[in-house]
Amino acid sequence: MKVRPISGVTLRAVLTGAVLLGAICWLSPWAILIVKGSQLTNTSIPIIAVLFLFGLTTLVIPLLGAVKRRLAFSRSEVITVYAMLLVGSGIITAFTAHFLSVISGAMYYASPENNWKALFVDHQHAWIAPTDWHAVRFLYEGLPKGMEIPWGAWAVPLAAWMPFMLILYWVVFCLGVLLRGQWIENERLIFPLTRLPLALIQDVENAPTLFSPLLKNRLMWLGFAVPLLLHSWNSLHAYHDAFQTLALTGSVSLLQGQVGVPFRLNLPIIGVGFLMPLGVSFSVWFFFICGIVQRWIFTRVGMDIGSGDVWNSGGGPPAIMHQQAGALMVLVGYVLWTARRHLRGLVHQALHGKSTGGSEVVSPRTAVLGFLFGVLLLIAWLTYTGLSLYVSLLLVLGALIVYIGVARIVCEAGLPGVQTPMVPQAYITRGFGPGVLGLQNMTGLGLSTVWIGAGGITTMISAMLHTLKLKATEERPDRRLPWAFLLAIVIGMSGSIWVTMELAHTYGGINMHRWFFEGAPRWPLTYMASVYNEPEASFAPRLLFTGIGSSFMAMLLFLRQRFIWWPLHPIGFPIATTYPISSYDWLALFMAWAFKGVILRYGGVRAFRFAVPFFLGLILGEFFTACMWVFIDGAYGVEGNMIFNF
């Protein structure tokens, strides 16, 4: 008789995940807002989650097993803990760090000069933004001595936004379930970001020693030592001038000094890039170079289709960003078209099949109907806040396009920090114009950057899909996993909001990281005000370049499907000049592509497999070093030492 596998969502696994996530809710806001150091949680592979997994698998679990075999966590339980950390960590910086400032920024930064009170504050419903000026001022400037946080002034906005965010996370979860079978089972995407966690949990149940095979590999420790030594040397410069910094970042002038190109020796991206297919890593840096050349051409010929857009990732010319946005739309269309049979089968099961069973963590009926009902609730909530129905529909549709597109790129390419080239708010604002939209819609679109833009949750669907990939080796889907996700989301939201409120009211938001309490709340409103005061005559030039990008992307997809020898992978085009690629990743991806190409050419697959631990060591070493120096710098009052970003 076949024994049914035991669920990995056990009480001890959930409690462990909850405790560790609670620690992250405190550590991550403190690290980025106070220490202004490395971002511990703002990527698809949160570095502190990986380090907690590292500690569990190398110390805690082996020690428990040494005391009594049955005390050791199973592989499935470890994945459950890591899943909770992945999902919960995606909220702490991506949502909470922006949320409080975005919904209160219009009131705080309103002045007679910018007229934001008449433009925006008067159009915010009292239940979605705080109305007490003193409460807002205390958030940004800190509380007077002896005064407590005015939670009452924030109770109604928090009570209004939390259900919306829970529904949004539910929609994203259902979307991940709907795409899981196609991406994991049918297309067999490689999910490069799962390689390090899988290596850490390898033989977690059966290893006779304290160390997994990865940690007994000397090449891994050699790779680990590279970022540890480099970044530690540079970090010590803040403590003593004898340690002169080694330049790991810089900028070069190309094309007769007309274009400046930043670069960074990004060691974990070299590690991730080595795990990518060669075609993917090549295409990303190749299209980045093409974008540089195109920018130079536009500069020489005087091509200008207007000012930049809000959350135009990378700050490139609008023509280039619209091209890449069009490419992202086509990519999502292609992904859904490829998955049409799979999705049709799920819909058929939802309407005519059983309500339980199958290979998903929730039934097809729950996933399909939950997704549709959740989308309707999102649209209803947005409309109730004052957005017109057509604006709500377009905003949710645009958000889903962004979520699917970014998730596909992360799952296939493995880049930890992927940003959309544009956000739907920009298309809606420019496309309809202030005359059609009016200030009520423009105010609502500015507030929507809480969940698509500054505080986007694009990492959430990636976290859920990567968890389902890690769980794919189990015989049966774990039906308790969604409840672990829900607990992680509740802890992540409530814990990080409480900690951020405590820090802001203690130190004053404007005295902490300037981006989160100055850039994030002001940028969308400044953009909306500029569009309102100086509307463009026509949207046609921007739409033209969107069409050009869409057509070029369609051609790339066609050539990729038709010709095996075609070298350019389409996935590199939509993100080629976005901020993470242009500022942090392009050089590292070029180096990873070169290393992998040379090793495969002259050493073959065997040499590649031999070298993998070294590149995993680069990733783990950077994550460890970044966290280590956050704690050291925090203890000694050193600020601004950001070792890891994107």
Q: What is the pLDDT of residues 476-533, one digit of tens each?
A: 777 889 999 999 999 999 999 999 999 999 999 999 998 899 988 998 899 999 999 9
pLDDT digits (tens, 9 = 90+) for 36-51: 988 898 888 899 999 9
pTM for the model: 0.94
Contacts of 25 (CB under 8 A, 6+ apart): 88, 92, 491, 492, 495, 496, 498, 499
Contact residues for 90 (Cβ-Cβ < 8 A; gap 6+):
41, 44, 46, 457, 459, 460, 462, 463, 492
pLDDT tops 50 at residue 153: yes
Tell me, what DSSP letter sits at residue 39? -
Q: Residue 258 pLDDT > 90, yes or no?
A: no
Given a cut of 50, whether residue 4 has pLDDT beyond it is: no
Tens-digit pLDDT profile for residues 314-337: 667 889 999 999 999 999 999 999
By DSSP bridging, strand 249-254 and strand 259-264 are: antiparallel
Round to whole Å and give the CA distance between 375 and 387.
Answer: 15
Contact 103, 516 (CB under 8 A): no
| Mean predicted confidence (pLDDT) in 426-437 | 92
DSSP 430-453: HHHHHHHHHHHHHHHHHHGGGTSS
Tens digit of each residue's pLDDT (9 = 90 or more) over 541-560? 999 999 999 999 999 999 99
Among the listed residues 148, 196, 167, the one whose alpha carbon sits nearest the alpha carbon of residue 457 = 167
Question: Kind and range of the H or E element at 518?
Answer: none
Tokens representing 356 are 């339980």
Q: What are phi and psi of 262, to 5 degrees?
A: -75, 155
Specify the pLDDT at position 1. 37
Positive or negative: CA dihedral 397, 177, 561, 283: positive
Q: Which residue has the tokens 């030594």?
A: 229
Residues 443-459, mean pLDDT to the nearest whole number: 81
Q: How many CA atoms lie within 13 A of 117 on its CB side?
A: 7
What whole-number percentage of the chain has pLDDT above 90? 67
Helices vs strands, H then E, count in the chain: 24, 2
pLDDT of residue 602: 94
Rounded CA separation 600/282 (Å): 15
Whether residue 120 has pLDDT greater than 90: yes
Strand partners, 259: 254
If you average pLDDT over residues 115-129, what whole number do you get? 92
DSSP output for 272-297: HHHHS-HHHHHHHHHHHHHHHHHHHH
Tell me the mean pLDDT in the region 369-395. 96
Alpha-helical runs (H) found in 574-585: 579-580
pLDDT of 357 higher than 70:
no
Q: What is the mean pLDDT of the chain?
A: 90
Most distant CA pair in the chain, distance: 77
* Residue 415, token pair as written in the block: 């880049």
- Residue 78 CA: distances (Å) to CA of 57, 74, 82, 471, 540: 8, 6, 6, 11, 52
Q: Tokens 């850490």 appear where? A: 200
Question: Please, are residues 78 and 61 in contact by the beta-carbon 8 Å criterion?
Answer: yes
What residues contact 606, with CB distance under 8 A and at least 6 apart? none
User: What CA–CA distance (Å, rounded) separates 238 from 408?
Assistant: 40
Q: Is the pLDDT of residue 206 over 60?
A: no
Q: Is 260 left (phi over 0), alpha (psi -120 to 50) or beta?
A: beta
Tens digit of each residue's pLDDT (9 = 90 or more) over 399-427: 999 999 999 999 999 998 888 898 999 99
Angle at 86 between CA 80 and CA 90, to 5 degrees: 150
d(CA 201, CA 56): 9
The domain limits of the chain are 11-636
Residue 263 pairs in a beta bridge with 250
